[in-house]
Chain A
Amino acid sequence: MKKTIIMGLVMILILIAAMPIFARSTYYFPGDSVFSIRAGVDFPAFISFY
């Protein structure tokens, strides 16, 4: 659970840090498409019962 929270905070921090540096520049237009393929590892974070 702690790991998840830290991960989440790191994500938010990166987002906040990056925002002002690249002020509103855009690259994409409506109609552009992106095809992605991902592969990697998967960490088990939590199983909680309710």
Chain B
Amino acid sequence: MKRYILIIITIIAALLVSCNIDATDGIYSEAAASTESTSVTTRSYLGQYDSAYYYLTDDGIFKIGQENALFADDPENTDAPIIRAASMNQTDGSLLILWQNKKPEDGAVIKYYAFDGTKYADPVVVEGTFTNLLANGLYYNSTGIFKYGCADSLVADIKAVMYTLISGDYAFFCIKDNSDNYKYYVIDASGAVKVNGIGSDTVYNTFIGFQAICDSDFVLLNYKNSNSKLEAYKMSATEIAADPYVTLKSSVPYAFSTQAMSFIYNDEIYFKCTSYFEKIKTDNETEQINTGFAANLRTAEITNILPTADDGIFVAGTKSSMLYRIDLINNSSSRITE
């Protein structure tokens, strides 16, 4: 009899101690969201040209449906440069590739490859060494931001580019100018400067999300160190709001990601947070989504999301599972395999 009482007491006591520590998502919802990883590590989704999907991985640039890389690092030659970043022009299929030389002092070089419909032309080397190439085709080094085809830099008086965020065709830059002031710029893929060097006295910790609504309306997501909250700020062509207009419920995306990816549909902005997509609705309320289109992507580390020509259809690059097609009309998502 004593033994049974002991068993029952232990069980009841244990039931009262239910807790899930060290996790931001439920255990079973995380397990149910697990997807098979491929052996390929995707770095970014480049875009769609002529109905084919192009993406950049650790092994080079690939097209879905084709096994061999279009451009790859040369494994035979240990001194050959490796592809560090790439950008594709979705109207003509041309590529810009940032080749990183093996020796750090040689820096990284950008080459432009035109596409005639069947093959790529010989590369045109862009003069100079650069530190980064963004998905919308802009590139920069410590002295300026450039676009292919423009001889001069798009923005002058730059000491260093601190960080960048991408939303479709638009790139957000946080720059330190030659007087050591922080300034914010937004430049689109055609080189037009939409937000021209807004300085700010307000202390934002770090902007980690950026969504362009239109040419003069942007939303920035700031991670506030003091309370670990994600706050959304509005930005126009001339200023960033001093106060956030919405605070998200979700937590910071995975530590090693540099940007919380987002897309906009029907005037609602969807940000990918750690285990949910969080949607900012038109009434400034937020909603966490982990079912429907978000079910397969809950634990995916998303590299970037681009809209397609079809309304409501987006393509997301994921680090371990290649590309996913997000369909907001049918509220589903599926992996692109061909």
Residues in chain A within 8 A of chain B (CB atoms): 47, 49
A47 to B291, CA, bound (A): 13
- Interface size classification for chain B: under 10
Interface residues of B in 19-77 (CB under 8 A from A): 28-29, 31-32
Determine the chain B residues whose CB is within 8 A of the CB of A47 once the complex forms. 28-29, 31-32
Determine how close the nearest CB of chain B comes to the CB of A17; give it in whole angstroms.
33
CB-nearest residue of chain A relative to B32?
Answer: A47
Determine the chain A residues whose CB is within 8 A of the CB of B28 once the complex forms. 47
A43 to B32, CA, bound (A): 14
Determine how close the nearest CB of chain B comes to the CB of A47; give it in whole angstroms.
5
A47 to B32, CA, bound (A): 7
A18 to B22, CA, bound (A): 49
CB-nearest residue of chain A relative to B290?
Answer: A49
Determine the chain A residues whose CB is within 8 A of the CB of B291 once the complex forms. 49
0 or 1 for each of B286-310: is its CB under 8 Å from A? (1 = yes): 0000010000000000000000000
Q: List 6 A-B contacts (CB under 8 A).
A: A47-B28, A47-B29, A47-B31, A47-B32, A49-B29, A49-B291
A47 to B28, CA, bound (A): 7
- What are the 4 A-B residue pairs with the smallest beta carbon separation, nearest first? A47-B32, A47-B28, A49-B29, A47-B31
A47 to B290, CA, bound (A): 14
A21 to B41, CA, bound (A): 62
Determine how close the nearest CB of chain B comes to the CB of A33; give it in whole angstroms.
12
Interface residues of B in 61-112 (CB under 8 A from A): none
A42 to B121, CA, bound (A): 56
Determine how close the nearest CB of chain B comes to the CB of A4; give it in whole angstroms.
16
Determine the chain A residues whose CB is within 8 A of the CB of B31 once the complex forms. 47
Determine the chain B residues whose CB is within 8 A of the CB of A49 once the complex forms. 29, 291
CB-nearest residue of chain A relative to B26?
Answer: A49
Determine how close the nearest CB of chain A comes to the CB of B288; give it in whole angstroms.
13
A3 to B167, CA, bound (A): 45
A10 to B285, CA, bound (A): 50
Determine how close the nearest CB of chain B comes to the CB of A29; give it in whole angstroms.
18
CB-nearest residue of chain A relative to B29?
Answer: A49
Determine how close the nearest CB of chain A comes to the CB of B137; give it in whole angstroms.
42
CB-nearest residue of chain B relative to A44?
Answer: B31
A49 to B32, CA, bound (A): 10
A49 to B291, CA, bound (A): 10
A47 to B29, CA, bound (A): 8
CB-nearest residue of chain B relative to A49?
Answer: B29
